[in-house]
Amino acid sequence: MSSHAVLYLAALATLALGLLWRGRLKKSRLPYPPGPPAEFLLGHARIFPRAEPHVQITQWARQYGDVMYFNILGKSLVVLNSQTATTDLLEKRGAIYSSRPHLQIFELAGWGSLPVFLPYGKEWARYHKFFAHTLGPKRVSEYQPVQLRHAHRLVRNMLDAPSEFSRHVNRYSVGVVLEAAYGPDMAADAKLERTIKYTEEITEKLAEMGDTSFLDLMPFLVHFPSWLPGLRCLAVAKETSKLQQKNEHEPFDDLRSRVSEGQAQPSLITGPLEELNKEGRSFDKQCGSNDEEELKFLRICGAIMVGAGGETTWTSIMNFIAAMLLFPNAQVKAQEEIDRVVGRDRLPEFSDRSSLTFVQCVMWESWRYHPPAPLGGTPHYSTEDDEYNGMFIPKGSTILMNTTALVTDERVYKNPHLFMPERYLPEHGEPLPMNATFGNGRRICAGRHLAEASVWIAIASLLALFEIRPVLDGDGKEVTPDIKFTSAITSHPEPFQCRFVPRNPKLGSLVEKC
């Protein structure tokens, strides 16, 4: 029998057992939430969209309502399509909706112990507490000098090589989190480039792996050799794990050496590392098991800041740039406000933020108009059977927050398909899209306050100094690009061109000074 046939039979057997088992376990007489018609045995496996899932799922949301149910080869998937449903379940019933599904591929790729993928429990709670303390609203202003310095470097780079704007935004986004985590030495050029390189390679590997959901259905396949047809993803996952290890260890080990030499500069990880060192506990590679645990904890905290914060911040700023190209009126209004409040003799600072109301609205509207994580980022997972509005949600359901449905909900946002920053002004009073952007409930983004400040100062600085304009054709006419967006956990524009035209004659000297 061929290896293909073995896999096929194994899949069918697992599926049949899974379905039988699931049928036996349905404890409630209540119906599942509505959803598109399922196929016999396969459920929604064939109809669940692979490309741009948020688009099709949001269309279904209009038909089936706030909560939808899918059965993917015997596994329950529940999609939440409204702010009310996400608040009711992810927030108010957070005790049973805050875990994460166990995804085989993440384990193999070396991400299993990252807090974003940890199940709800003690281990996760320790990270959660650490970040709530160090990145909470009271502490986050400590990072403003870092963000401001990187924002100044961003506009300087933009002035020097405007066509490389995407790369400059990436250096800004990764640079801020790298420096916040490990200090300025570890975010210096060579080390920043090293992190960017690893991150890019990991992203390529992810794309190479493709759809690996079959591994969750048949987890035993991870023990099969990767040369079998269809299992090359196992080999790629192992390569990813090696890259992930390097990405995690190298900045951390550099910082450890600095701390041992008494040369480390302040950062979120430096402080606790110095404490460990001060306590006189062996700090070199032979340290005792408790210290190993402690070091691993700090190493992972640093890694997740860079991993979860770099790409998402870059995506947010790239989506903002795309919006400015497509909606020049909003850009002009924001720049008028900056000229009025900040003037043309200095660059924006954090102290201007509360006076730059329209600029804030532009940031929020960029997040609403094109959410960086259109399906809520990482899925949640339910740990108890539950009933909601007369519907049964089984224990062990994967829960997706459909951010796209939340931010285009006509019951909440008037003309949601228009880019209208003014919708957040008191006279319109539409709700900020923050819960939709950063998730909801106990697993809400741990870095949201830092992220918001990073995105704000970057866009305020860019708007102060540049007009973001379409490129010119051969006749000197502006041609607005047809921007396409990627569709994965995050969604950002595919490569496009635009011009950053200096709008302030004093720009050169201002940028030199900073």
Residues ≥6 apart with Cβ < 8 Å to 474: none
Q: CB of residue 404 vs ligand HEM: minimum separation in angstroms?
A: 12
Q: CB of residue 388 vs ligand HEM: minimum separation in angstroms?
A: 18
**413/438 with CB nearer ligand HEM:** 438
What one-character-per-residue DSSP string does 387-443 give?
Answer: EETTEEE-TT-EEEE-HHHHHT-TTTSSSTTS--GGGGSTTT-PPPSHHHHH--GGG
Residues that bind ligand HEM (CB under 6 A): 115-116, 128, 135, 177, 304-305, 308-309, 312-313, 316, 372-373, 376-378, 380, 437-440, 443-447, 450-451, 455
Beta strands in 357-397 (DSSP E): 380-381, 386-388, 391-393
Q: CB of residue 265 vs ligand HEM: minimum separation in angstroms?
A: 18
Q: Which H or E run contains 4?
A: helix 3-25
Binding annotation for heme: 445
Check residue 498 and give left, alpha or beta (phi > 0: left; psi -120 to 50: alpha).
Answer: beta
**43/115 with CB nearer ligand HEM:** 115
Residues ≥6 apart with Cβ < 8 Å to 23: none
**295/373 with CB nearer ligand HEM:** 373
Tokens of 394: 């089984």
3-class state of residue 218 by DSSP: coil
Residues ≥6 apart with Cβ < 8 Å to 340: none
Binding annotation: 445
Q: Which H or E run contains 55?
A: helix 53-64
Distance CA 494, CA 496 (A): 6
**14/86 with CB nearer ligand HEM:** 86
**74/441 with CB nearer ligand HEM:** 441
Q: CB of residue 143 vs ligand HEM: minimum separation in angstroms?
A: 9
Tokens of 204: 């390529």
Q: CB of residue 98 vs ligand HEM: minimum separation in angstroms?
A: 8
**157/437 with CB nearer ligand HEM:** 437
| CA angle (120, 125, 129) in 5-degree steps | 145
Q: CB of residue 299 vs ligand HEM: minimum separation in angstroms?
A: 14
